Amino acid sequence: MKKLVLSTLLVLQAVFVFAQQNPALKGKVIDAKSQKPLQNVVAVIQSTNQTVLTTFDGSFVFQTIPSGEQVLVIKTPGYNQQTLMLEPFTGETIDLGVILLEEDITSEQQLSLVTITENDLGDDNSGSESTSGLLQASRDTYQQAAAFNWGLARFRIRGLDNEYGVTMINGIAMNKLYDGRPQWSNWGGLNDATRNQEFTMGSAPSDYTFGNALGTQEINTRASFYRPGTRISMSGTNTNYSWRMMGTHASGMNKDGWAFVVSASRRWAEEGYFEGTDYAANSLFASVEKKFNDKHSLNLTSIYAQNSRGKSSPNTQEVTDLKGVRYNSYWGWQDGKKRNSRDKDIEEPMTMLSHYWKITDKTTLNTNVAFQTGKIGNSRLDFQGGNNPDPTYYRNLPSYYLNQFDNNGVWAPDYTQAGIARANFLANGQIDWNAMYVANQNSVNPGRSIYALYEDRTDDNLLSANSILNSSLSDNISLTAAANFRKLRSHNHQNLLDLLGGQFFLDIDPFFAGNAAQTDLNNPNRQVVEGDTYGYNYLLHALTFDGFTQFKFTYDKADFYLAQSFSRTEYQREGLYRNGIYADNSYGKGESVTFENFGFKGGLTYKLTGKHLFDFNGMYMTKAPTLRNSFSNARLNNNITPDLVSESIVSADGSYIIRTPKFKSRLTGFYSKISNSTEISFFYAENIGDNEGDEDAFVSEIVTGLDKQNMGVELGLEYQLTSTIKVTAAASYGQYIYSDNAKLKTNDDGLAALGQDPIKDFGKVYIKDYRQPGMPQTAASFGLEYRDPHFWWVGANINYLGDSYLDVSNILRTDNFSIDPATGASYPGATEDEVRRVLKQEKFDSFSILNLTGGKSWRISKANRNTVGFFASVNNVLDVTYKTGGFEQSRKATFPDLQQDLVSGTRAFGPKYFYGYGRTFFVNFYINF
């Protein structure tokens, strides 16, 4: 009996001492406007990463927290983060009472980011929209500036394309196997339905995937995670669409274990900011969850997002000087309406089934299966035996006549014809649809169309599956493990859309004769009609497996993690046509190519105090080439890209982070090296290494062994000057270069048609130390924001962007440019200094942009706690004109040809440029109930 009493006293004493050393913490989180409790809000003790979620009534409890100064962070999507300083004493229980979270204006601002993510630079049928800005839209001040203030200038965080980030929906990767980039339009217009997001920066650890050098973004569509309620909004803008309507309803989890979410939107414009850019998009979303018990839930998500938009053309300086920066050569009048010849149509619905299994209190398993199907089409004009219908075709412009030479090679400009061309272009600078209809009706071959409209079409069927295990192995160690599978069948072909008044189009290549002109020797001289496949027709097959494990270790003063991954990738082309040029290497299945890759990463967070942290991350991985770059000319043959190997990626970053209730900052230095990249492009070139004079050819250019080095610093600062005024500042300075020379080969169909080897080796590309193109490498932002207690706000920021460079032509930087193949000596005048001068990379002018934002919200019913509000923004208030990118044309591929193009000062084949928006606005009205 004495032993029992003594033992009981000792246990009670131990419990008492434990309680003294680890005081409890509790509170309740509610919406500042509606006064509704907020469920699934994250509360985290910063120094320990202890995390709890609020319950249905908004309450949270920490059973234990360390003594001494602590920082508590309260955060959830759509609301401003709360940072609270705590100084618990031994044995104390802290009750924070009610914590108010205010609506985050940047969640409305994200709805206005409707422009850059849906504009693309290329015409390939991958359909991948290219900016990583939206990927980075998290709560970090620097990342907010990168997404919302610098994104319109195509700024890329750390200079990395978004194929080096991973975007997921419910743990399933959304990056296309074709080019590695996410297709934003697959869920475009569903902003409300895709707000539940988790983001990790760079190679920091993720609970879903191994990741890559840019970061990871997980979009969660589990129905029970959405806050109950209904939201309806109406928006107007003058960017790539004019109007948008959107509605979303979330039921919340009912007593029978059911929850559902539905959302729909429509966006449309007869013409966007650039001329002739029509827009029409419809999006639907549904998510249904059934909770069977505390251990098992099943969720079904369906997403349908249809998008059709007219593209805008890149233009030479000559064209812009004549027509202005909004000029778009892709459209023309037809029956009193503007018709764009270059439409992009996307329709790729997806369905996902997710199973959530809580195996134990410390272990969960999430399994997902998804199927995505649909189409992407990029339309353009085709013609046989007629004049090029492009109004900016080089023979239609003054520069063609200003750069004429006589038979002796003496410059002989024709100013009269140049003046006539100028007048004609100014008066008739658009596509003449009516003239093409007339030409087809008067064809010398009755019924045969000279002109037709077609689309480069991709029809994909993608099956994906994965399982993600998260387990707390001990109080300090957690494990994440995942396995992923994807299988793709991609049908690529030309689809005839419109015969433009004719009855049929001939399925041949008019630039060749005999068998070489036949696109399909199995069905020669076919007469195709609208809806038929012609030109090229093939399948791409891809099969990928990958898995990773990750261990995270959490301690009072330091956290660290280690992760490793393995992947296997297999590609194969299957030709459905026997092409006349590649009769023996185009039909049927070609050789498959397989890559096995691995990765390792690790990092450390050292907590100097609860407010001051040091963070370090490092990664090494290899990455399979994309499907796009694995076949040198997939449209016509089965050839695998020469010298094809996996990329090697090294990245590292170190940060000093300060987090206090009033002041937050992050200073980061970063470095990444991407080796052995492959890039394939297509163009029409003159004098590409032949010995017989003026031979012109359409070639595919294969650049391998491309090395990229990115290094720089990032800074984000935020200071709450008063309870209503906040000051923010952000800056980025980078040096993004090609760190070594590469290798270049071409695939020349003209040589293949003559029975010769189509692959021509041009040796080195002297590209070392050139800057990577198409993005500012220096950026800075300063902002002020006033937030009134009565729920209205206004903000302004000024942004500086500079050090953006033109995309240079690779073939101009080979020996072919300066050395005459007939003599083996340099062309006359092609001295080293002169070659360096004409090939100097163009640097775009730096510029500054002023942006304004503001809004107001009201609680319109105290009983039902309904709210209504609006958000408005004006970007580029001062209407600054700036270039967002551009590329050198490769047609003038030798020094003498380029000199002739430069002689008049007005180039016929000068660089083509993309321009950013001028002054734009966005207004959004919404009601929540």
Pair of tokens at residue 771 = 């800057």
pLDDT at 183 over 50: yes
pLDDT at 872 over 70: yes
Output the pLDDT for position 36: 78
Look-up: residue for tokens 């691995």?
598
Query: Is the Cβ–Cβ distance between 211 and 188 less than 8 Å?
Result: no
pLDDT confidence tier of residue 14, bands split at 50, 70 and 90: very low
Helix (H, G, I), strand (E, B) or coil at 238: coil
Of 234, 242, 235, the C-alpha closest to 278 is 242
CA atoms within 13 A on the CB side of 663: 4
Output the pLDDT for position 108: 52
pLDDT confidence tier of residue 812, bands split at 50, 70 and 90: very high
Helix (H, G, I), strand (E, B) or coil at 880: coil
pLDDT confidence tier of residue 91, bands split at 50, 70 and 90: low
Pair of tokens at residue 744 = 């270049």
pLDDT at 2 over 60: no
List pLDDT tens digits, range 427-436.
999 999 999 9
Element of type H or E holding 731? strand 725-738
Q: How far is CA 568 from CA 112, 488, 646, 753, 824, in A?
A: 39, 14, 11, 36, 45
Output the pLDDT for position 617: 97
Alpha helix (H) residue ranges in 56-167: 105-111, 141-144
d(CA 516, CA 827): 34
**Residue type, position 628, single letter:** R
Q: How far is CA 222 from CA 252, 298, 368, 575, in A?
A: 11, 9, 12, 41
Buried b or exposed e, range 280-297, using 16+ CB within 10 angstroms: bbbbbbbbbbbbeeeeeb
Helix (H, G, I), strand (E, B) or coil at 132: coil
Cβ neighbours around 879 below 10 Å, total:
11
pLDDT confidence tier of residue 89, bands split at 50, 70 and 90: low
pLDDT confidence tier of residue 105, bands split at 50, 70 and 90: low
Question: What is the torsion angle, in degrees rounded to the nearest 10, for the CA atoms of residue 618, residue 622, residue 624 and residue 626?
Answer: 40
d(CA 402, CA 413): 4
d(CA 700, CA 684): 9
pLDDT confidence tier of residue 139, bands split at 50, 70 and 90: low
**Residue type, position 664, single letter:** K
Buried b or exposed e, range 826-838, using 16+ CB within 10 angstroms: bbeebeeeebeee
d(CA 751, CA 760): 9
d(CA 526, CA 613): 69
pLDDT confidence tier of residue 696, bands split at 50, 70 and 90: low
pLDDT at 79 over 90: no
pLDDT at 13 over 50: no
pLDDT at 22 over 60: no
pLDDT at 884 over 80: yes
Buried b or exposed e, range 338-372, using 16+ CB within 10 angstroms: bbbbbbbbbbbebebebebeeeeeeebebbbbbeb
**Residue type, position 618, single letter:** G
Residues in the chain: 929
Beta carbons within 8 Å of 347's beta carbon, 6+ residues apart: 305, 306, 307, 374, 375, 376
Query: Is the Cβ–Cβ distance between 104 and 79 less than 8 Å?
Result: yes
pLDDT at 382 over 90: yes
pLDDT confidence tier of residue 1, bands split at 50, 70 and 90: very low
d(CA 565, CA 211): 9
d(CA 748, CA 696): 10
CA atoms within 13 A on the CB side of 69: 10
Q: What is the 3-state secondary structure (H, E, C) of 372-384?
A: EEEEEEEEEEEEC
Of 523, 487, 120, the C-alpha closest to 307 is 120
pLDDT confidence tier of residue 417, bands split at 50, 70 and 90: very high
Per DSSP, the residues of 738-779 read E-S-EEEEEEEHHHHHTTS-SEEEEEEE--TTPBPPSS-SEE
pLDDT at 693 over 90: no
Query: Is the Cβ–Cβ distance between 519 and 604 less than 8 Å?
Result: no
Output the pLDDT for position 45: 81
Mean pLDDT throughout 556-564? 93
Cβ neighbours around 590 below 10 Å, total:
20
pLDDT confidence tier of residue 822, bands split at 50, 70 and 90: confident
pLDDT at 63 over 90: no
Query: Is the Cβ–Cβ distance between 834 and 826 less than 8 Å?
Result: no
Of 158, 215, 162, 202, the C-alpha closest to 736 is 158
Beta carbons within 8 Å of 556's beta carbon, 6+ residues apart: 47, 48, 66, 607
pLDDT confidence tier of residue 135, bands split at 50, 70 and 90: very low
Output the pLDDT for position 84: 84
Report residue 626 CA to chain centroid gap: 15
pLDDT at 50 over 80: no
Report residue 843 CA to chain centroid gap: 24
**Residue type, position 525, single letter:** N
E strand intervals along 292-327: 296-310, 315-316
Of 765, 775, 703, 705, the C-alpha closest to 736 is 775
Mean pLDDT throughout 296-325? 96
pLDDT at 124 over 80: no
CA atoms within 13 A on the CB side of 84: 22
Query: Is the Cβ–Cβ distance between 726 and 785 less than 8 Å?
Result: yes
d(CA 497, CA 515): 26
Mean pLDDT throughout 333-353? 96
pLDDT at 128 over 70: no
Report residue 96 CA to chain centroid gap: 42
Output the pLDDT for position 100: 86
pLDDT at 861 over 50: yes
d(CA 213, CA 672): 8
Which is more confident, 45 or 861?
Answer: 45
pLDDT confidence tier of residue 83, bands split at 50, 70 and 90: confident
List pLDDT tens digits, range 571-584.
999 999 999 999 99
Element of type H or E holding 838? helix 832-838
Per DSSP, the residues of 807-832 read BPPSGGGSHHHHB-TTTSSBPTT--H
Beta carbons within 8 Å of 380's beta carbon, 6+ residues apart: 123, 341, 342, 453, 454, 455, 456
Element of type H or E holding 398? helix 398-402
pLDDT at 694 over 80: no
